[in-house]
Amino acid sequence: MLAVVDLTPEIAWTEPALELPVALDEPVVQGFVAVDDHRLSELWLVIDAGGGAIDRRSIAHPEGPSHPGVVRLSAVELDARPGDTISYWIEASDLDDVSGPNVGRSETRVLRVASASTERAEALADLEGARDAGLDALADRLELPVTLPPSAEPTAEGAPDEAARARHRATSASSTAFAERLAALGREPLEGFDAGVVDPSVLAAMARRLGRALADEARAYGPRLGPEAARRASDESLVTMLEDQTLFLDDLLARARIDDAASIARELDALRREMTSLLAELRRTDSPEARAALLAALRRAQARAAELAQRIAAMGNDVPSEFLNTDALPQRETQDALRAMQDAIENDDLDAAERALADLERQIEAMAGALSGAEGELADARFGPRERAMAEAMDALAGLETEQRGLAERSEGLRRDAAERALRARDALDAIPEDALGPYDREMLDRVRQRLTDVEDTLRAGDLGEARRMAAEAHADATGLARDLELSALMFAGRDGQVADAARNAQRASQSTRELSERLEDVLPRLGEHLADEERQQLRGDAPRQTATNEAAQRLAEAFRAEPDGQPLSPESADAVDEARTAMD
C-alpha cells in the first residue's frame, strides 16, 4: 500500500499588485484563487495594519479543491492614517487529518495609504523628470551642432539639406518632449507644495516660451530650408533658453527636496508630541489600550523617520553640499532614540521612555534647524532676485488693495441709493393690477420686473456696468408700458378705474427706473446733472485716484511678469491683477 502525500494548498493573486498609494477611504478589491490537491477546508484574510495585533478573518469554507474569490479592504475601516502601510495575505487550510491540516499562504501584498508625503514624492518625481528631459534636450543640441560642410568638399545634391533636416528632427523631438513636461507641470499646483516653493504658472509660462521658440525654429525648416545663419541663431537661442530653464528647474528641485524633508520632520515632531501625551496617559492608567496606542504612534514615527532618511539620501544628487551637508544631519541619532523608546516600552520602563522622547525632541530640533537654514541659504543664493521682486510686488499689491478698498467704500453709499431706487420701481410695478392688463402688457410688465431683478443681482455682484445696462433697458420697457396704459385709460378706464390706476403706477415705475438709470450713470462715475454738489465733487475727486489706481495695477501686473532670474515672476498673479483692472474700469 502506497502512502499518498497531501500537498499544501496554494494561493495565487489574480489581480496585479497596487503600485500607487490609495486614498484613505478608497476601497481596494483584489482577486485570488486557492487550489488544493484534495479539498480545501477554510480560507482567511490576514491583515497586519501595524498596530501590533494581527487581524485574521475567515472568508470562506470551500467544498471542493478550488476556490476563486475576492478580498475587500478599506484603510479607513482598519483605523489607518495617511502614510500608514498595511500588509495582507491569504491563508488556506486543507482537510488532511493524518499529519494535521496543511496551511498555505499567498504572497504578502502591501497597501500604502496616500498622504501629503506620498503626494510630494510624486510631485518631486515629476519635477525631476522635467529637469532630466531638459538635460536630454540640451545634450542633443550640444552633441549635434549646426554646421556647414566645407564648401570645397564635394557632396551629393541635396545631402546638406537632408542632414540639416535630420538634425532638426532629432533635436526638436527632445525639446518638444521637454516643453510638454513643463506644460503638464504648469496645468495645476504640484501636490504638497505651495506656490511659494513651486509656482505652476511660472512653469506654464516657461513651456509657452519654449513652444514659441520651437515654432520659430520650425519655420526655418519648412518646404524651403532657411539660411544657415538664421538656423544657427535660432539654435543658439534655444540652447541658451534650455540652459536657463534646466538650471532653474535644478534649483527648484533642490528647494522642493529640502521643503519636503522639512515637512516630514514636522510630521515626525507632531508624532513625538502625540507620543508624549500617550506616555502620560499610560503612566496614569497603565491600560492595554494606552500601551497599544503608544506603540502604534511609535511605529508611525519609525516609518516617518525611515521615510525622512530616504528623502535625505535622495538630496545628495540634487542639493549642493554648500547648502546642506546631509552626512551631518542627525538621522542615525533620531532612529536610535526611537529604538530606545521601543525597548523602554517593551521593558515597561516609562522613565527611560521619557528620556528617549526628550532625546528625540533634541534630534528633531537639530534636523529641522539644519533644513530650515539650508532652505534659506539656497533661496537667497539661487532665488534672491526673485524673492526680492516678489516681496516688492506683494507690498505694491497690499497698497493697491488698500486704495481700491477706500474707493469702493466711498461709492458704496451711491450703490445703496441705486438699490433703493430699484426697490421703489419694483413697488410701483407690484401695485399694477395684472387683471387690468392685456397679454402684451403683461409680457412687458414681466420683462421690466426681470430687468430690475438683473439690476439688483449685478449691484450685489459689484458689476456696475452691467447694472447700468439693465437699468436702461428696464426704463425703456417701463416707459413703453406706461405709454400704452395711458392710451388704454383714455379709451377705456376699466372696471373701477383699474386701467387708469395701472397707468399711474406704470408712470411711477418709469420715473423710478429713469432715476435709477441716471444714478448708475453717476456711480461709474459718469458725472451728470442728477447729483448733489457734494456728491459730484466727491466723484470728481475720486476720478484721479481711480485713474492712478488703475495705472498702479498695470505696473503691478508688469512686475509680476518681470523676469528677475530669466523666468517670469508669477504669470498667474499677473493675470489676476489684469482681471481686477478690467473690473475696475
HEC string of 22-48? ECCCCCEEEEEEEECCCCEEEEEEEEE
- The whole-number pLDDT of residue 528 equals 37
Quickly count: other Cβ atoms within 10 Å of residue 486's Cβ: 16
- The whole-number pLDDT of residue 450 equals 86
- The whole-number pLDDT of residue 383 equals 61
- The whole-number pLDDT of residue 360 equals 92
Q: How far apart are CA 341 and CA 282, in angstroms?
A: 14
pTM of the model: 0.64
Q: What count of Cα atoms within 13 Å lies in the side-chain half-sphere of residue 578?
A: 11
Regions of the chain short of the pLDDT cut 50? 1-2, 149, 151-156, 384, 387, 390-391, 525-532, 535-536, 538-540, 542-543
Angle between helices 159-186 and 200-219 (to 10 degrees): 160
- The whole-number pLDDT of residue 379 equals 74
- The whole-number pLDDT of residue 34 equals 96
- The whole-number pLDDT of residue 154 equals 41
- The whole-number pLDDT of residue 517 equals 77
Give 96-146 as a DSSP string.
Answer: --SS---EEE---EEEEBP-HHHHHHHHHHHHHHHHHHHHHHHHHHHHS--
Question: Cβ(492)–Cβ(436) under 8 Å?
Answer: no
Q: How far apart are CA 112 and CA 116, in angstroms?
A: 12
**CATH number listed for the domain at residues 117-146+162-256:** 1.20.120
Q: Name the nearest CA neighbour of 239 among 366, 120, 347, 146.
A: 146
Q: For 418-455, how does the pLDDT look when each residue is reduced to its tens digit (9 = 90+)? A: 777 777 777 777 777 777 677 777 788 788 888 888 87
Q: Could you give the C-alpha distances from 291 to 47, 269, 275, 345, 361, in angstroms and in order?
A: 20, 20, 10, 8, 21
**CATH number listed for the domain at residues 10-114:** 2.60.40
- The whole-number pLDDT of residue 152 equals 37
E strand map for 231-321? none
Question: Cβ(106)–Cβ(13) under 8 Å?
Answer: yes
Same topology, domains 10-114 and 397-524? Answer is no
Indicate the DSSP class of residue 149.
P
Measured in degrees and rounded to the nearest 5, phi and psi for residue 144 equal: -125, 70
- The whole-number pLDDT of residue 568 equals 62
**CATH number listed for the domain at residues 397-524:** 1.20.120
Q: Where are the alpha helices (DSSP H) in 151-227?
A: 159-186, 200-219
Residue 538's contacts (CB-CB under 8 Å, 6 or more residues apart) are 410
Q: Where are the domains of the chain?
A: 10-114, 117-146+162-256, 397-524
527611560: which residue's cell? Answer: 352
- The whole-number pLDDT of residue 1 equals 43
